[in-house]
């Protein structure tokens, strides 16, 4: 047996020092060890934990070093250290408590104090992390926690606490106001010198329609355009309308907010004015409606007031920008409407509408008005951002404004409140935000984490369905009786819900065939993944068919609105999902729904160039899919369509009218506004939009726009659907994307 190696010279074993003679504690408490602080021992609590008012505790045995733990245990050990570092030692690691804390963190309602800031509170600091100071009943100044303004107020409080004489304190206040460009009597600087001459807004009276027409347009807006959102109190709006129709003084800049609100309400009313006619009096299916010219004039004049609206930054400013967004929503959704909603969000933040109101100096009706406006702006901007792939302006963690509440002063004169629908739309938007975050993480995470995010998505789907089932079924939310007072609002709410289900499931559409072809699964994990994918795809298809049914219900009752973003966008989303589902060889009976949906969306897009262009894209995709499907069924080497077949198809299109026309005639009862399903499926629509179709299929003879497409190549349109369409579960050693 070998002798142990001799000790190095000079290294002597240090004798043990008795505990009573030690200068530092023999064993440090856990909080001091985790914060790398000197522990004085004793207790618990030790002196340092007592100083910082934190829970002091000791472990009976030190945890094993990370190197001695398994990979899973080591991960849990390190995660626990991170959690305790950022959330403090008082945090419970019980799974239920952790889940509750995670929900509070996501919503921004967690009020724990990070340990790094404990003991740093100054006695001069107020309990609020922000300030809201009213300049008038409709304008407030918001300052965040780390703003220069709040820091200057902290200095003033410190001077006061040090016994500064009152006259010196007032002089300091005056100097601070002067140095920051403020008027000490007003409190905050307003850039009134940048406002336009009053002559701009003074000419607005000339754009007011006759009073009976104004009443008609206002009623139209409230019935068809407001749906599940809040833009202004109806009673206050009508009082303002009475005031401005009877005013005997020239209009000034301070009137710009309400003037723009009135004019844009009238402009939106012109978009829906034809909905007030009976079904037999509505314009024909192919006729452009001339009311747009009036609304466009009102919109263009309102745009001249935008610089003054931004400078004023009042409650009415938020209303005006929201209405500008509503008007442009069906015209340029991801452009102008997205920009106007962003401006509404910025104006609301400048007024502090996104934060909980903590003072009692403002009437409750104004506070509730602010809360409803904020949540409307937040919901509209977030929904547009999610569905069109844009960044959301405000994170849920950055807002804590109270949810809308019932208030007698803000109830509609009709007695039927849409408040439950407004609240439901807000909750649906926030759930959509969670879904969008998980889907993005699923796309970008390593393959080893995909199952965890897929499980989160399944939980969100279950939670969404449970929430939907809990909504009321009488009058509000889920009552689909056409005779009900909120029928159209309720249909729109379900259209948004079904669109969310499609948004959740369509990334997996092109994966279901791959998982089905694999047959038996090598592991239980793969089987569970395949079941989740199949469930999402099935729900997506069912939601798409449900949207078509709801649009048909609207068509058969109150009518489809040609300028409704909700109706057009949901129908478009459903059609794209059904086309993609058919490309996977699905056996679901969706062909009839697809044909009905195409007939319906053709009605909604009448008079809107952007909508008609998007419908042309859907037409091209479906035609390419039909060509692919027909080619697969043909014997190898045989042409999918004979020359005579092509001639007959061309002759049929010619009978419907000149092929270069953008009008859809309906001779001989082939087409009918009341029977969209009878419209020939996907024929006769392409020749009007050769410029939009270049990116999807090369049309032979496109130099002559009157020539119909004879053979539609499949490859371009099909590849445009296939690229980045679903989750690639094995694209590399570490990553996967969809």
Q: What is the pLDDT of residues 369-409, one digit of tens each?
A: 999 999 999 999 999 999 998 888 888 888 889 999 999 88
State the chain's mean pLDDT as an integer. Answer: 74
| Local confidence band at 168 (pLDDT 50, 70, 90 cut-offs) | low
Q: Two tokens at 735?
A: 């990553």
Q: Is 590 exposed, middle or buried (0-12, 13-18, 19+ CB in 10 A)?
A: buried
Query: Both 27 and 136 in a single domain?
Result: no
Q: Two tokens at 687?
A: 């020749």
Q: What is the pLDDT of residue 480?
A: 95
Query: Both 351 and 407 in a single domain?
Result: yes
Residue 235 lies in a domain: yes
Instruction: Give CA separation, 416 vs 222, 284, 493, 556, in Å.
Output: 12, 33, 17, 24
Question: Is the pLDDT higher at 179 or at 38?
Answer: 38
Check pLDDT > 50 for residue 524: yes
Residue whose C-alpha is closest to residue 606's, from 217, 387, 290: 290
Q: What is the pLDDT of residue 447?
A: 82
| Local confidence band at 47 (pLDDT 50, 70, 90 cut-offs) | confident
Q: What is the pLDDT of residues 621-650, one digit of tens each?
A: 888 888 877 665 444 334 445 566 656 555
HEC letters along 450-484? HHHHHHHHHHHHHHHHHHHHCCCCCCCCCCCCCCC
Distance between CA atoms of 414 and 48, rounded to whole angstroms? 64
| Local confidence band at 159 (pLDDT 50, 70, 90 cut-offs) | confident
- Comparing 241-250, 303-312, 477-486, 671-680, the range with the smallest average pLDDT is 671-680
Helix (H) or strand (E) holding 675: none
Query: Both 32 and 135 in a single domain?
Result: no
Distance between CA atoms of 621 and 611, rounded to whole angstroms? 16
Q: Two tokens at 37?
A: 């602080």
Query: Coil, strand, or helix at residue 60?
Result: coil
Q: Where would I find the H helices in 111-210? A: 148-161, 166-179, 198-202
Query: Both 245 and 318 in a single domain?
Result: yes
Please list, in sequence order, all residues whose beta carbon lies within 8 angstroms of the beta carbon of residue 685, skipping any fewer than 6 positions away: 602, 615, 616, 619, 664
Final residue belonging to a domain, choices 368, 397, 415:
415
| Local confidence band at 3 (pLDDT 50, 70, 90 cut-offs) | low
Please list, in sequence order, all residues whose beta carbon lies within 8 angstroms of the beta carbon of residue 482, skipping any fewer than 6 positions away: 553, 557, 558
Query: Both 515 and 544 in a single domain?
Result: yes
Q: What is the pLDDT of residues 424-441, one digit of tens each?
A: 999 999 999 999 999 998
Query: Both 605 and 504 in a single domain?
Result: yes
Residue 399 lies in a domain: yes
Partners of 142 in beta bridges: 132
Distance between CA atoms of 726 and 580, rounded to whole angstroms? 11
| Local confidence band at 9 (pLDDT 50, 70, 90 cut-offs) | low
High-pLDDT (> 70) share of the chain, % = 60
Query: Both 317 and 455 in a single domain?
Result: no
Question: Is the pLDDT higher at 510 or at 663?
Answer: 510
Q: What is the pLDDT of residue 522?
A: 54
**pTM of the full predicted structure?**
0.69
- Among 111-125, 134-148, 494-508, the range with the most confident prediction by mean pLDDT is 494-508
Final residue belonging to a domain, choices 587, 606, 631:
631
Number of domains in the chain: 4
Query: Both 219 and 170 in a single domain?
Result: no
Residue 192 lies in a domain: no
Residue 728 lies in a domain: no
Query: Both 203 and 156 in a single domain?
Result: no
Q: What is the pLDDT of residue 234?
A: 94
Q: What is the pLDDT of residue 10?
A: 53
- Domain of residue 146 covers 131-180
Query: Both 167 and 257 in a single domain?
Result: no
Average pLDDT of the segment spanning 257-268:
96
Q: What is the pLDDT of residues 200-215, one digit of tens each?
A: 888 899 999 999 999 9
Q: Two tokens at 639?
A: 């042409």
Q: What is the pLDDT of residues 323-343, one digit of tens each?
A: 999 999 999 998 999 999 999
Q: Is 19 exposed, middle or buried (0-12, 13-18, 19+ CB in 10 A)?
A: exposed
Check pLDDT > 70 for residue 617: yes
Residue 710 lies in a domain: no
Query: Both 455 and 406 in a single domain?
Result: no
Q: What is the pLDDT of residue 738?
A: 38
Check pLDDT > 60 for residue 354: yes
Q: What is the pLDDT of residue 30?
A: 77
DSSP designation for 104: H
Question: Is the pLDDT higher at 489 or at 156?
Answer: 489
Residue 673 lies in a domain: no
Please list, in sequence order, all residues whose beta carbon lies within 8 angstroms of the beta carbon of residue 688, skipping any fewer than 6 positions away: 612, 616, 660, 661, 662
Final residue belonging to a domain, choices 631, 650, 685:
631
Query: Both 344 and 253 in a single domain?
Result: yes
Residue 60 lies in a domain: no
Q: What is the pLDDT of residue 312?
A: 86
Distance between CA atoms of 689 and 326, rounded to whole angstroms? 27
Average pLDDT of the segment spanning 67-92:
69
Residue 467 lies in a domain: yes
Q: Is 665 exposed, middle or buried (0-12, 13-18, 19+ CB in 10 A)?
A: middle
Average pLDDT of the segment spanning 273-280:
76
């Amino acid at each position: 047996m070998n002798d142990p190696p001799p000790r190095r010279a000079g290294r002597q074993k240090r004798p043990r020092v008795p505990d009573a003679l030690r200068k530092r504690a023999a064993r440090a408490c856990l909080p001091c060890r985790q914060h790398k602080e000197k522990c004085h021992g004793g207790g618990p609590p030790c002196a340092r934990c007592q100083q910082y008012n934190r829970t002091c505790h000791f472990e009976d045995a030190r945890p094993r070093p990370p190197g001695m733990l398994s990979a899973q245990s080591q991960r849990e050990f390190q995660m626990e250290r991170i959690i305790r570092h950022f959330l403090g030692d008082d945090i419970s690691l019980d799974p239920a408590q952790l889940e509750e804390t995670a929900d509070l963190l996501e919503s921004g309602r967690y009020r724990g104090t990070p340990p790094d800031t404990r003991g740093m509170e100054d006695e001069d600091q107020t309990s609020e992390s922000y300030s809201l100071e009213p300049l008038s009943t409709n304008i407030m100044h918001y300052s965040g926690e780390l703003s220069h303004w709040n820091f200057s107020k902290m200095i003033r409080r410190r001077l006061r606490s040090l016994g500064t004489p009152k006259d010196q304190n007032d002089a300091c206040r005056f100097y601070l106001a002067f140095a920051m460009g403020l008027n000490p009597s007003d409190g905050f600087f307003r850039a009134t010198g940048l406002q336009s001459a009053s002559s701009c807004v003074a000419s607005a009276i000339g754009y007011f329609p006759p009073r009976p027409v104004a009443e008609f347009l206002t009623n139209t807006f409230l019935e068809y355009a407001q749906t599940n959102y809040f833009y202004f109190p109806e009673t206050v709006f009508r009082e303002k309308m009475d005031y401005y129709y009877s005013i005997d003084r020239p209009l000034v800049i301070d009137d710009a907010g309400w003037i723009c609100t009135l004019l844009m309400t009238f402009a939106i009313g012109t978009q829906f004015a034809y909905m007030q006619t009976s079904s037999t009096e509505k314009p024909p299916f192919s006729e452009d409606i001339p009311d747009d010219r009036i609304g466009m004039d009102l919109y263009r004049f309102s745009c001249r007031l935008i610089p003054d609206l931004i400078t004023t930054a009042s409650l009415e400013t938020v209303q005006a920008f929201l209405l500008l967004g509503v008007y442009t929503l069906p015209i340029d959704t991801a452009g102008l409407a997205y920009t106007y909603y962003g401006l509404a969000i910025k104006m609301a933040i400048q007024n502090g509408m996104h934060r909980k109101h903590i003072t009692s100096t403002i009437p409750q009706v104004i506070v509730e008005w602010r809360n409803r406006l904020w949540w409307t702006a937040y919901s509209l901007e977030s929904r547009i951002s999610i569905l069109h792939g844009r960044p959301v302006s405000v994170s849920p963690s950055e807002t804590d404004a109270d949810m809308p509440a019932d208030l007698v002063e803000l109830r509609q004169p009709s007695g039927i409140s849409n408040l439950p629908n407004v609240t439901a739309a807000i909750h649906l938007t926030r759930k959509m935000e969670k879904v969008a975050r998980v889907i993005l993480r699923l796309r970008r995470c390593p393959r080893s984490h995909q199952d965890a995010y897929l499980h989160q998505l399944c939980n969100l789907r279950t939670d969404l369905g449970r929430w939907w089932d809990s909504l009321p079924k009488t009058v509000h939310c889920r009552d689909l009786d056409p005779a009900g007072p909120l029928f159209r609002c309720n249909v729109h709410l379900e259209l948004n819900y079904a669109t969310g289900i499609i948004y959740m499931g369509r990334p997996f559409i092109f994966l279901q065939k791959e998982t089905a072809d694999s047959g038996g699964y090598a592991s239980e994990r793969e089987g569970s993944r395949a079941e989740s994918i199949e469930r999402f795809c099935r729900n997506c298809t069912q939601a798409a068919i449900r949207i078509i049914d709801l649009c048909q219900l609207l068509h058969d009752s109150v009518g489809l609105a040609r300028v409704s973003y909700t109706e057009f966008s949901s129908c478009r989303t459903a059609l794209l999902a059904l086309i993609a589902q058919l490309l996977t060889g699905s056996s679901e009976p969706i062909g009839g729904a697809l044909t009905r949906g195409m007939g319906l969306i053709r009605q909604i897009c009448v008079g809107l160039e952007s909508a008609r262009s998007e419908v042309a894209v859907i037409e091209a995709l479906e035609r390419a899919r039909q060509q692919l499907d027909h080619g697969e069924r043909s014997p190898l080497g045989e042409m999918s369509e004979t020359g005579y077949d092509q001639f007959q198809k061309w002759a049929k299109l010619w009978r419907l009218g000149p092929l270069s026309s953008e009008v859809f005639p309906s001779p001989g009862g082939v087409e009918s506004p009341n029977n969209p399903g009878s419209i020939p499926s996907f024929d006769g629509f392409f020749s009007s939009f050769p410029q939009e179709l270049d990116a999807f299929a090369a049309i032979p003879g496109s130099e002559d726009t009157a020539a119909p497409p004879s053979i539609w190549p499949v490859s371009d349109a099909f590849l445009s659907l296939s690229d980045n369409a679903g989750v690639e579960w094995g694209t590399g050693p570490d990553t996967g994307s969809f």
